Amino acid sequence: MEFSPEGIIGYIVEYTRALPSAILQGDIFAITIALIVFFIAVIIINQLTSLLIRFLKRAILLIIVTLAFIQFFLTLSSRVSTEGWTADTIIFGAIGVIFGIIAVITALLIALGEFHAARKKPVHT
């Protein structure tokens, strides 16, 4: 084995490729390495899961609110193209656009606030 970064990386890559077959053959060292990697992965996933779930809830809410606003806007434009600008379409359209913009901005601020809070919160081991 060559003691250069390329040689070490090549050895690690080849050992990683041979690891599953070594585990199936019952190699204790390979099983130990696999269990250590699995344990580290479980710890990392456990630490990140709560942060991810909190952020994903806010992000999904943002997507739902944005899609609802887009659907409202498409319905409004369809109604305007068929009926024209009537008093009802102007009033309900203006109110809907105002509430839609407020809802999207609120959902965006909540999602971004959760993202920044998750970045500042230390990960406990």
| % of the chain surpassing 70 pLDDT | 90
Q: How far apart are CA 66 and CA 74, in angstroms?
A: 12
| Predicted pLDDT of residue 114 | 78
| Predicted pLDDT of residue 123 | 56
Q: Which residue has the higher pLDDT, 93 or 48?
A: 93
| Predicted pLDDT of residue 118 | 66
pTM: 0.57
Q: How far apart are CA 109 and CA 103, in angstroms?
A: 10
Q: In this model, does residue 122 exceed pLDDT 80? A: no
Q: Under a CB-based contact definition with an 8 Å cutoff, are residues 61 and 107 in contact?
A: yes
Q: How far apart are CA 77 and CA 70, in angstroms?
A: 10
Q: How far apart are CA 82 and CA 93, in angstroms?
A: 14
Q: What does residue 3 show for φ and ψ, rounded to 5 degrees?
A: -95, 60
